[in-house]
Structure 1
Amino acid sequence: MSTTNTALRALIAAPHPDVAPLPPATRPAPELRLLRGVPYGEVDGGRPLELDLWLPAAGDGPAPLVLFVHGGAWRRGRRDDMGLRTRHWAPGPLERIAAAGFAVACADYRLSGEALFPAPLDDLRAALRWIGLRAAELGVDTERTVVWGESAGGHLASLLALDPTVTATGAVIWYAPSDLTVPRGPFDPHSATTPEALLLGAAPAAVPERAREASPVARVHGAAPPFLLVHGEQDTMVPGSHSEELAARLRDAGVPVKLRTVPGADHGWYGAPDDAVKDVFARSLRFAQGCVA
């Protein structure tokens, strides 16, 4: 295809996400609107980046925001999946958060087979930028933003909350890696085949500065927002020491942090009783509400 007629190419291209009309909303419940597949960013040579938006009915003003970040070892996953133990919930967890008065955005980000770190973090920053740009149209108050992630998504949400350029008033982090530099459980920083290595593009030990940049424990600072860290006590994939060390670093920096462990729970709350999983969700939602009150 010829690339010489740049004016025509610009004319026929889809509108840029910054100005594109919003898609029609559905109503999963009378008090909620759901916009699926909203483009928020463009990557040259890559797929459009999209997010889903759950928007509560207009109330006393713009709604606070939860940005949810999915897991999947940075390699796979779906933007609207909060993990194994919530997939059968009806209504689903994101709808429940929206019903509590939040606008909820769940965003795509580039996976490790598409681009290396910090690309996924850049994408999440871009999602927040886009929401801020369209905030008045959406009825969202981005000055009250809680990032919420599980597993690899919790790792990215931690980095996002610790980014001084990002406005976040709280972080809910479920069973997430916090240190990509030292051996923990099954993770070997000298291996080039781990999910962490695929994220970084090399064995973490071979790229120590990049691994440190990608480690939330190394990014802690005193101006970070409050954190809630929740981890299964029997996690065989991401040891609980990840959350324990991050909690200790946050406390040392003077950052409000709560650490909760779940007895009998492996990764993704596998093995925990249903009531325990519901309790984790309820406590997480109350924490998020407290961060935007």
Structure 2
Amino acid sequence: MKPRRYPAPAPAIEGDLTIWRDAVVGEVSGFRPLLADVYRRTGDQLLPLVAWIHGGAWRKGGNKGEAVGRIPERLIEAGYAVARVTYRLSGEARFPAQLHDVKAAVRWVRHHAAELGVDPARIGVWGESAGGHLATLLALTGKDPELAGDVGVLDQSDSVAAAVVWYGPSNLLSMAAQNHPQGLQDHDDPDSPESRLVGGPVQDMPKEAAAASPVGYVSDDAPPILLVHGDEDRIVPVGQSIELHQRLSDAGARVELRIVAGADHCLIGADLEPEVAASIAFLDRTLRPRS
């Protein structure tokens, strides 16, 4: 049987944008098709692309909602193509389904790179909160066939060349211990987002929780990663980014950490503009060819 190719939909031209909406990047039996929207400035220039992964505690959200800091729009303005991707939520499937889904989106983009006007060697990822967790895993497991899954186009690489991670969980087993003094949830509770992701209380399922934790996939060949986190985050403790930064640094990987003073989750309480600008500058350094 020939593998499914999932053709790109007809693009729409809106102003100076070319948009491929609701592209089916994969299908899972008994589940709605997995979709992505791809945006780029109209033209024939080959662009780097950034996959945007939304947050929502793995429980809610989608690729069409307003993103914190207008990040997808800012990327397009900065000369990037953007793929806003979807994934199965924790009420629909347990981990690693979510990782398989975002990998399918990257493989679909790479398969259609010529049609989309995208450079397949310059694909990055940016995620926030739960999307940051998936972005980190995507960056760290691009060479791991055991985590590729069987969703969508399968004969392409799902590796990325850079990752920006905003306040993402990195170790499900240490979140409770690192919780903010005014933390808004018990991460070890059976109803916590982390427990729902793995299918039970994380401390009762250490193997599954570890498998869903980016810190377990750190290696020296990780792509460049930027971590951004508020030091007053009451949802995802800032210790999560500190821990991941330390492990990546110890492994010799290229990693940068920006701790935003006084910022809660979603960087509430801080000026988003310098953080968005710094994150785009990081992508410029890693995804744009040197002159």
| Same topology, TM > 0.5 | yes
Q: CA deviation at 1:238?
A: 0.8
Whether 2:193 is the aligned partner of 1:201: answer no
Contact 2:6–2:24 under 8 Å retained in 1: no
Partner SS, residue 12 of structure 2: coil
Whether 2:128 is the aligned partner of 1:133: answer no
CA deviations on 1:186-244 (whole Å, 9 max, x unpaired) are 46564211000100011111221111111111110110011111111111111111001
Contact 1:175–1:232 under 8 Å retained in 2: yes
Whether 2:75 is the aligned partner of 1:112: answer no
Give the TM-score normalised by the residue count of structure 2. 0.86
Q: CA deviation at 1:115?
A: 0.5
Output aligned runs, 1:178-257, within 5 Å: 178-182=170-174, 183=176, 184-185=178-179, 186=183, 188=186, 190-257=188-255
Residue 278 (structure 1) aligns with:
273
Distance 2:96 2:116 in 1: 28
Alignment RMSD (CA, Å): 1.8
Distance 2:171 2:285 in 1: 28
**Paired residues, what number?**
266
Residue 154 (structure 1) aligns with:
132
Whether 2:158 is the aligned partner of 1:171: answer no
Q: CA deviation at 1:21?
A: 4.9
Greater shift in the superposed pair: 159-168 or 196-205: 159-168
Contact 2:8–2:20 under 8 Å retained in 1: no
Residue 97 (structure 1) aligns with:
75
Partner SS, residue 26 of structure 1: strand
Whether 2:54 is the aligned partner of 1:70: answer yes
Residue 39 (structure 2) aligns with:
54
Contact 1:82–1:150 under 8 Å retained in 2: no
| Cα distance change of structure 1 residues 59 and 96 upon mapping to structure 2, 3 Å threshold | farther
Partner SS, residue 223 of structure 2: coil
Q: CA deviation at 1:164?
A: 3.5
Residue 144 (structure 1) aligns with:
122
Whether 2:285 is the aligned partner of 1:290: answer yes
CA deviations on 1:243-264 (whole Å, 9 max, x unpaired) are 0110000100111111111122
Contact 2:172–2:210 under 8 Å retained in 1: yes
Give the TM-score normalised by the residue count of structure 1. 0.86
Q: CA deviation at 1:104?
A: 0.5
Distance 1:21 1:159 in 2: 26
Structure 2: which amino acid aligns with 1:255? A
Q: CA deviation at 1:96?
A: 2.2
Contact 2:9–2:22 under 8 Å retained in 1: no
CA deviations on 1:11-62 (whole Å, 9 max, x unpaired) are xxxxx972435133132x42x21222111111101001111101223344x2
Contact 1:189–1:205 under 8 Å retained in 2: no
Q: CA deviation at 1:130?
A: 1.0
Larger CA Rg, structure 1 vs 2: 1
| Cα distance change of structure 1 residues 250 and 82 upon mapping to structure 2, 3 Å threshold | farther
* Sequence identity percentage: 45
CA deviations on 1:45-95 (whole Å, 9 max, x unpaired) are 1001111101223344x2111011100000001214464x53xxxxx4312
Structure 2: which amino acid aligns with 1:285? I
Distance 1:259 1:179 in 2: 16
Output aligned runs, 1:257-272, within 5 Å: 257-272=255-270
| Cα distance change of structure 1 residues 81 and 260 upon mapping to structure 2, 3 Å threshold | farther
Structure 2: which amino acid aligns with 1:251? S
Residue 7 (structure 1) aligns with:
none
